Chains A and B, each alone.
Chain A
Amino acid sequence: MSILRRNNVNISGNGARAMLFAHGFGCDQNMWRFVAPAFETGFKTVLFDHVGAGRSDLDAYDPEKYSTLSGYADDVVEIINELDLQEVIFVGHSVSAMIGALASIKQPQLFKSLVMVSPSPRYINDDGYEGGFTAEQIDELLETLDDNHMGWSAAMAPAIMGNPDRPELGEELTNSFCATDPEIARQFAKVTFKSDNRADLSKISIPTLILQCEEDIISEKGVGKYVHQHVIDSKFVLLDATGHCPNLSAPDQVIRAMREFV
């Protein structure tokens, strides 16, 4: 099974520099559909699904490998090497911001810069650290996932309407959110929300852009500022937007902030 097939890698655009987009928890690469096209002139844009999400190869899901974010970071490095990408700008949403950070620490020579969209190095509160959640609340979340996967199947996956701003696309994409194996989804949730990568922040050696929404219950402003404080060469931009997915709810702001940075 080729790496590109395993991670459902899709390449567009043109350019010497590569932009690698990584989706976060609960989504797949389709969440970049309002942002990635804006960079197709000037960059080779690469989108992929983490193993276990979207249309990745579910058979490749190894519970042990993917029990830490490091396993996902290894996949990122593999994709970059497989495509022989140079000077990669890694754009990671939510937990993928940390996955990208880990990948850049493993192989700094492959990366040019990091864009972190709504990142958090740790979600559960700790002494002197406000992650935003208690351990009990995270456990209840995992139960909610079970409730919501009851009875779902790939056959019921609804269709995504084509982007109204780009009618020439015209196709209906099958929504692969629902098609994910519920057990894998649960595992990924566990790994995400129980992660702690605070100690890794200071090891990031490349320029980093941090984008945070005004109101985001999952990655609050305070957390974004924490990341900014601990990453040496970082820039913090507060977006006038609410929610956890500004790449979907405020794509223009995200594009603008990224254009100024890269």
Chain B
Amino acid sequence: MDEDLEDLYENAPCGYISIGTNGHIVRSNLTLSAWIGIDREDLLGKRTKDILTIHSAIFYETHVAPLLRMQGYFDEVALDLIKANGEKLAILANVAERRDDKGNHLFTRLTIIKATERRRYERDLVEARTKAERGLQLERAASELREQFVAVLGHDLRNPLAGIEGGIRLITRNISDEADRAIMVLMLQSVRRMRQLIDDVLDLARSRLGGGIQLNIELEQPLEPVLAQVIDELRIGFPDRVIEWQFNIADPVDFDAGRIGQLVSNLIGNAITHGADNEPIHVQASTRNNELYISVSNAGEPIPPGTIERLFQPFYRGGGKSKREGLGLGLYIASQIAEAHNGTLSVHSDEQNTTFTLVMPTRQPVDTSATDEDR
């Protein structure tokens, strides 16, 4: 059985409207009448503005009509029709001009599909996106405020702390009693720990605010003495632990002594805390192919894969033997120091050993040598 074109037009699953050259509706189908509750006879002679809501009518006049004249069609326009009972009907329409051979306008034809659900869904999406964007903006603003607060706080704590440290040193000079001196030594150690904590927090805040770790790079500095000093300090602090070293630093290196010292000290400190305490810790430093390699390895339990992923994140302290003191910033700051030197800090851990390796170029570009005024 073949299709009945007349019936196909009148009862199509979509609405049809044809508008003549004078802007009046000249034909429409039954489906449309069913949707908006207005008979075909009553629609004859009406204009688009009579069947559209005001805002849709404005949109039609400013966007659809001009484009129809210029290019002959306009697809996927979202409009609202007005039903007989005054309610809105959300629709999607394709509109096209039918012209004769000479290009004169004969009809403007609309094919109309209902779009209530689609419109609701799209509006929900837009709203959700707007909300998410606004939330993100607020979050960013709050985060920046927090970082700035921390930076200011850390900075302001340093002076009083320096005062305490200075005061302790002065008093210690005049104390001969052994017990009292021991107390002073403990107080100094506490102050130093606080200072380190504040420095770490300041580093974190600055790097989060986008400044990054500021370096004080000295060109072609001897690296061995810096590493040796770090190892000596830790040997004094942990006399029961064995720290072995192998240095093969043939080429000159540009670096920030304080920061590289801090990095290596952190790595060895971690090895002491987390490594097997009856096995030695190995420190190696060498240069080859214009690159500097520094590695620190220890024996002991391997780091679980889940932990390895988050090792270099700030505030991450891991399970088990995390330091009782400290904020979990050491490795984060160490990785920032590596980055500031245009290098990388990586880790490998298995049953045999856990090794942290710093790889960085031996030479630094001249403008990296910024001074760090707050040191």
A146 and B61 within 8 A (CB): no
Question: Beyond A217-B57, A248-B70, is A148–B77 a contact (Cβ under 8 Å)?
Answer: yes
- Interface 1/0 per residue, A225-259 and B, CB below 8 Å: 00000000000000000111100110000000000
Residue of B nearest to A93 (CB): B66
For window 145-170 of B, CB contacts with A under 8 Å fall at: none
A contact residues around B23 at 8 Å (CB) = 215, 242-243
Tell me, rounded to whole Å, the shortest Cβ–Cβ distance linking A246 to chain B: 10
B71 and A159 within 8 A (CB): yes
The complex places the Cα of A161 from the Cα of B122 at a distance, in Å, of 31
A30 and B126 within 8 A (CB): no
Residue of A nearest to B53 (CB): A140
B contact residues around A145 at 8 Å (CB) = 59
Number of A residues with CB within 8 Å of any CB on chain B: 39
The complex places the Cα of A177 from the Cα of B64 at a distance, in Å, of 10
A147 and B73 within 8 A (CB): no
- Interface 1/0 per residue, B182-207 and A, CB below 8 Å: 00000000000000000000000000
Interface flag for B49 (CB, 8 Å)? yes
Interface flag for B46 (CB, 8 Å)? no
Interface flag for B119 (CB, 8 Å)? yes
Q: Which of A21-29, A73-81, A102-110, A195-203 has 4 or more CB atoms under 8 Å from chain B?
A: A21-29
The complex places the Cα of A148 from the Cα of B76 at a distance, in Å, of 8
B55 and A137 within 8 A (CB): yes
- Interface 1/0 per residue, A116-157 and B, CB below 8 Å: 000000000000000001000110110111111011000000
Interface flag for B289 (CB, 8 Å)? no
Number of B residues with CB within 8 Å of any CB on chain A: 35
A140 and B71 within 8 A (CB): no
The complex places the Cα of A145 from the Cα of B125 at a distance, in Å, of 15
The complex places the Cα of A145 from the Cα of B80 at a distance, in Å, of 12
B contact residues around A133 at 8 Å (CB) = 54, 58
B contact residues around A25 at 8 Å (CB) = 62
A144 and B55 within 8 A (CB): yes
The complex places the Cα of A94 from the Cα of B61 at a distance, in Å, of 11
Given A138, A158, A249, which contacts B71 in the complex, CB threshold below 8 Å? A158
The complex places the Cα of A147 from the Cα of B70 at a distance, in Å, of 23
Residue of B nearest to A248 (CB): B69
Given B53, B62, B102, which contacts A27 in the complex, CB threshold below 8 Å? B62
Interface flag for B72 (CB, 8 Å)? yes
Residue of A nearest to B125 (CB): A150
Q: Tell me how many residue pairs across A and B have CB atoms closer than 8 Å.
A: 97
For window 115-130 of B, CB contacts with A under 8 Å fall at: 119, 122-123, 125-126
A218 and B61 within 8 A (CB): yes
A contact residues around B69 at 8 Å (CB) = 245, 248-249
Interface flag for B44 (CB, 8 Å)? no
B contact residues around A205 at 8 Å (CB) = none
For window 1-60 of B, CB contacts with A under 8 Å fall at: 22-23, 47, 49, 53-59
B119 and A147 within 8 A (CB): yes
Interface flag for B242 (CB, 8 Å)? no
A contact residues around B67 at 8 Å (CB) = 175, 177
B62 and A218 within 8 A (CB): yes
A30 and B62 within 8 A (CB): no
For window 65-106 of B, CB contacts with A under 8 Å fall at: 65-67, 69-73, 75, 77-80, 99, 102-103
The complex places the Cα of A215 from the Cα of B67 at a distance, in Å, of 19
- Interface 1/0 per residue, A1-39 and B, CB below 8 Å: 000000000000000000000001111001101000000
The complex places the Cα of A216 from the Cα of B60 at a distance, in Å, of 12
A245 and B61 within 8 A (CB): yes
B contact residues around A243 at 8 Å (CB) = 23, 61, 65
B70 and A146 within 8 A (CB): no
Tell me, rounded to whole Å, the shortest Cβ–Cβ distance linking B84 to chain A: 20
A contact residues around B123 at 8 Å (CB) = 146-147
Interface flag for B63 (CB, 8 Å)? yes
A161 and B72 within 8 A (CB): yes
Tell me, rounded to whole Å, the shortest Cβ–Cβ distance linking B218 to chain A: 43
A contact residues around B49 at 8 Å (CB) = 217
Residue of A nearest to B54 (CB): A137
Tell me, rounded to whole Å, the shortest Cβ–Cβ distance linking B189 to chain A: 56
15 contacts between A and B (CB under 8 A): A26-B62, A94-B62, A140-B53, A141-B58, A148-B59, A158-B71, A158-B73, A160-B70, A161-B71, A161-B72, A164-B103, A217-B57, A242-B22, A243-B61, A245-B69
A residues bordering B, Cβ < 8 Å?
24-27, 30-31, 33, 94, 133, 137-138, 140-141, 143-148, 150-151, 158-161, 164-165, 175, 177, 215-218, 242-245, 248-249
